[in-house]
Structure 1
Amino acid sequence: MVHKLIPLADWFPADSWPLLACPDCSSGITIDRQRISQFETFESEESHGHEDFEPLWVHGHFHGQVNCGNSRCQLRIVVVGDFKVDYADGRGRIEYLGQQWDEYYKLKFTHPPMAIMSRAEGVPDEVWSLVTDASRLAWVDPAAASGRLRAALESLMDSFKITKLKPNRKPRNLHDRLKDFETKKPDAAQFFLAVKWVGNEGAHGNRGLTSVDVLESAELMEHGFQLLYNKSAQLLQKRAAAINKARRLPRTRTKK
């Protein structure tokens, strides 16, 4: 399964935004180019006077507002990012020396943040606050965002009363706590362990992490939350386990 926000992690045509969901009500977001402004950097503006100028030199930043399309919500979201000019995929907005060119955007920040996962009912507020921090940082600082997801796992372990300190009162590492958690919730623990490994890289300042890495980790964490808190998922798991154990549909007992 590909995370629905992954298209935002790369450059996209300024006139063709990926489909986005409102972080408050999950309805579709509408994009009005009239509400988005862009400007070139000083270096980019200066390049226009160069005798060898070409559109590929044009770059800068954009900022503006996008709106929730739900009339009952109408949330307004601030968007900020980078822009550039590059070859058009087909007919572009710009024609220069017989070549078609287009403007492209790359998102860096939104407020309120675009949620990188859906909240399962029952996820503690302390845990979700850290997930929201990760959503805010996913585009501008993926390493920090991964670190926030890792911190959310620490908070989750606290909520399940997984021992936090060693006998000598020194903190236990997250890996050991997750292995303890695995004895109680093995299915969900596998997903959280995977998120932890990526989060370790963020905590150690790995600048090679990308927004896609964050989104993929968020997808794993969201599934772990579903296994923990989504009752229908738990019931389906139990039903599947019962069928596998019986190697057929279990017979139901009726009261006489």
Structure 2
Amino acid sequence: MQPTHPEDVALSLGKASAVYFSNPSAYCDNIRIAAEEVLNSLGVPERSDGNGARLSFKHRIDRLPVERKRANVLFDALRWLGNHGGHAGGGITKEQALEAFEIMELLLEEVFSNRRRELRELAIAINNAKGPKHKLLRIIAITGQDDLGLILLKACQAYVRETTV
């Protein structure tokens, strides 16, 4: 298995986008390919351990690491849309192709973004401060440290980084 990087997924998404208006079925087929590349980036094998046979997209989805199982439903939806797009008579509409795009967008956020975790940490810091966050309280919330010396050291390091940029 060749390792895939988010850039490789983006390239595949670019190919899909090029045919959105002219061929929504091909768009969904390409989105499916991009979703398989996301599996590659997560280290999900393409081939069976035993006989080296190529695993189906479904079997690869089933092999997602436990911490990524929430993404199964997203991968499955893209698999179904890609299947219909890849076969003659699939008849994918532009609206259905847009749905594939929206699902892929959520999948990419789920896999490659820390946004949800960072916002959850921010909410915890605000709740702990019982109001607007203070940098020191945010450091405590994020690091889990309660050693005042270590907290102050981290706060000073963060301040130096911010002021020297």
Q: TM-score, normalised by structure 1?
A: 0.44
The 5-angstrom pairing of residues 193-212 of structure 1 reads 193-212=76-95
Cα distance in 2 for partners of 1:239, 1:180 equals 32
- CA gap of 1:162–1:209, structure 2 versus 1, over 3 A, is same
| 1:149 correspondence with 2:27 | no
Structure with the higher helix share, 1 or 2: 2
Offset, 1:234? 2.6
Q: CA deviation at 1:237?
A: 5.3
Map 1:15-26 → 2, pairs under 5 A: none
C-alpha contact 2:35 2:75 (8 A) present in aligned 1: yes
Q: Secondary structure at the match of 1:185?
A: helix
Structure 1 position 203, deviation (Å):
1.8
The residue matched to 2:63 in structure 1 has which SS? helix
In 2, are the aligned partners of 1:154 and 1:174 still within 8 Å (CA)? yes
Identity among equivalent pairs (%): 23
Cα offsets for 1:17-72 (capped at 9, x unmatched) = xxxxxxxxxxxxxxxxxxxxxxxxxxxxxxxxxxxxxxxxxxxxxxxxxxxxxxxx
2:147 is equivalent to residue 255 of structure 1: yes
When you count strand as a share of all residues, which structure comes out higher?
A: 1
**How many Å separate the matches in 2 of 1:148 and 1:171?**
19
Partner of 2:155: none
Paired with 1:212 and 1:228, the residues of 2 have a C-alpha distance of 24
Q: Structure 1: which 5+ residue stretches go unaligned? A: 1-122, 243-248
Kindly provide the CA deviation profile for residues 118-141 of structure 1, in whole angstroms up to 9, marking residues without a partner as x: xxxxx6222111111111111111
Shift, 1:198, TM fit: 0.9
For residue 231 of structure 1, the aligned residue among 111, 114, 123 is 114
Residue 83 of structure 1 corresponds to none
Give the aligned partner of residue 134 of structure 1: 16
Of the structure 1 ranges 171-180 and 201-210, higher mean CA displacement relative to structure 2 is found in: 201-210
CA contact (8 A) 1:188 1:225 kept: no
Structure 1: how far apart are the matches of 2:14 and 2:21? 13
**Are residues 239 and 228 of structure 1, via their aligned partners in 2, closer, same or farther at CA, if it must alter by over 3 Å?**
farther
CA distance in 2, matches of 1:218, 1:182: 24
Aligned residues: 127
Q: Which residue of 2 aligns with 1:187?
A: 70
8 A Cα contact 1:227 1:234, kept in partner: no
TM-score by length of 2: 0.66
Residue 231 of structure 1: CA displacement?
A: 1.4
